[in-house]
Amino acid sequence: MLDLNSIKKAYERVSGVVHRTPFSYAPILSQMSGYEVYLKKENLQRTGAFKLRGAFNKIASLVESGEKGGVVAASAGNHAQGVAFSAKHFGLDATIVMPESTPLTKVLGVKEFGATVILHGGNYDEAYAYAVTFAKKNNYNFVHPFTDEEVMAGQGTVAIEMFEEVEDLDAIVVPVGGGGLISGISVASKATHPQTKIIAVSAQGAPAMKNSFEAKRALDTLSVRTIADGIAVRDTSSITLEYILKNVDVFESVCEDEIASAILFLLEKQKVLVEGAGAVGVAALIHGKIDLPKGSKVAIVLSGGNIDVTMLSLIIEKGLMKSARKMKLLVTLIDKPGALQAFTQILTDVGANIVQIGYDRTSTDLEFGDAHVTVALETKGVEHQVQIREKLKEGGFTFKEEH
């Protein structure tokens, strides 16, 4: 059983190997929310996520029991690196089964720790099924990402570190996918600080655990779709659900736009880079989904920072559009000398900076003698964009906005 003693033992095992990550006061979030907010920055953990704690504790326990064979895991991300790192530490062979669609950067990241990578299946569930079969066939130990007491105990060491630094936390906000992290944290918290509320946050696009929490029984979903790939779990674990039902006080969820805005907020305001799963707690806070007395001391776990750079660039681009710091226009003008100059002169006069421009006179939807100009502009907010629209209309230009 997962209990405080097993978490303390895990803490002894992982200390000196995993980083004791910063647990920092967040002044801007505190001022915005009216709470005293602290961020547990597991995005700065070795391998970039909390998953290393559970993987290391599990493999350490296997070594202590005399196991010398290889270990197998199925993962497209953080758990894979945690298992690969831990196996290398103990000199064990590690085989990681990853979906065929896994980005090359993640595959190479696992290989850097000396693990063998097998690409199999179109999604995690197919990779998982193959990994379990592979482990049995080769008599290897399968390391599950969350349905394992030793793994959960390792994740629970996050709570020990937080309480050692801030004793009187009123609430801990934890991302939830499979439930391993919140199981470990909640067991440690309730055993030592029963008055501290445990607030779970999931992605609306991966609702299995929240649905199960509300129904008080394990419910699976047919599919998941979220930018928070670290918590994109389709099926509910009855083992972690048991701990969640016992220890979690509140369960919230956040949508994709809220997650994206939290990633951008943390990057801009806190100078912290997190992945989607790592941002859901802050997303819940800044979008008013955390309801506590003013002045409450609130810890938010930033579970990981391994975000794909392509996804990050997309989030930044969309964020700039939504915050009125960028606008895209499709302008129709007469295709004659000086027409483009007249258009750009208006932009110059209102102080809008052109960052991208294209000129098209051949599209079939154009009248003869017209041209389309597509332009992306850096702008200074809503009022500035209103001014740009007004000046273009005054200049006789017709345009559409792209969103």
Q: Give the contacts of 285 (CB within 8 A, at least 6 positions apart).
A: 29, 33, 35, 37, 173, 298, 300
Name the pTM for this structure.
0.90
- CATH number, domain 4-49+148-318, options 3.40.50.10490, 3.40.50.1100, 3.30.300.30, 3.60.10.10: 3.40.50.1100
Mean pLDDT of 164-193: 97
What's the pLDDT score for residue 174?
A: 98
Q: Which two tokens stand for residue 126?
A: 């197919």
What is the tens place of the pLDDT at every residue in 286-324?
A: 999 999 999 999 999 999 999 988 899 999 999 999 989
What's the pLDDT score for residue 274?
A: 97
| pLDDT at 65 > cutoff 90 | yes
Mean pLDDT of the chain: 94
Say if residues 388 and 377 touch (Cβ distance below 8 Å): yes
What's the pLDDT score for residue 249?
A: 98
Candidate from 90-104, 243-257, 267-281, 338-352 with smallest mean pLDDT: 90-104
What's the pLDDT score for residue 105?
A: 77
Outline which parts of the chain fall under CATH 3.40.50.1100.
4-49+148-318, 70-139
- Confidence class for position 116, pLDDT limits 50, 70, 90: very high
What is the tens place of the pLDDT at every residue in 315-369?
A: 999 999 998 999 999 999 999 999 999 999 999 999 999 999 999 988 888 889 9
Which residue, 248, 274, 231, 269, is CA-closest to 185? Answer: 248
User: What gap in Å lies between CA 28 and CA 30, rounded to an integer?
Assistant: 5
Q: Which two tokens stand for residue 319?
A: 């964020």
> What 8-state DSSP symbol labels residue 91?
T
For the chain, give the percent of residues with pLDDT over 90: 86
| pLDDT at 103 > cutoff 90 | no
What's the pLDDT score for residue 69?
A: 85
Outline which parts of the chain fall under CATH 3.30.70.260.
324-402
What's the pLDDT score for residue 125?
A: 79
Q: Give the contacts of 396 (CB within 8 A, at least 6 positions apart).
A: none
70-139 has CATH 3.40.30.10 classification: no
Q: Which two tokens stand for residue 232?
A: 């994109």
Mean pLDDT of 174-203: 97
- Confidence class for position 223, pLDDT limits 50, 70, 90: confident
What's the pLDDT score for residue 119?
A: 95
Q: Give the contacts of 352 (CB within 8 A, at least 6 positions apart).
A: 377, 378, 379, 384, 388
Distance of CA 119 to CAs 74, 75, 81, 129, 344, Å?
10, 10, 15, 13, 51
Mean pLDDT of 234-252: 96
Strand order in the sheet with 71-74: 116-119, 94-98, 71-74, 141-142
Which residue, 16, 229, 66, 57, is CA-closest to 143? Answer: 57
CATH topology of domain 324-402: Alpha-Beta Plaits (3.30.70)
